[in-house]
Amino acid sequence: MDQKDKEKQEQKKFLGIYFKCCNVYGRIYKNKAGNAYEGVCPGCGRPAVVSIGEHGTSSRFFVAE
């Protein structure tokens, strides 16, 4: 397995998120540093960031207000 394959596997980690602004569900993905999930609303491009704490995220689903 080369480095690219490894990165691909790690990028599968994502979080389901609901964007209130556009009333749509989407996914945001773990950033390179691995300390937060980052993404944008598929409707309006509004950024969403969910920090990953020491104990990880307690919930597997989030709402972007």
Does position 44 bind Zn ion by CB under 5 A? yes
**Binders in 4-43 for Zn ion, by CB under 5 A:** 19, 21-22, 41, 43
Three-class SS string for the chain? CCHHHHHHHHCCCEEEEEECCCCEEEEEEECCCCCEEEEECCCCCCEEEEECCCCCCCCCEEEEC
Does position 47 bind Zn ion by CB under 5 A? no
Does position 63 bind Zn ion by CB under 5 A? no
Find the shortest distance in angstroms from Cβ 37 to Zn ion: 17
Nearer to Zn ion, 23 or 51 (CB): 23
Q: Which residues bind Zn ion (CB under 5 A)?
A: 19, 21-22, 41, 43-44, 46
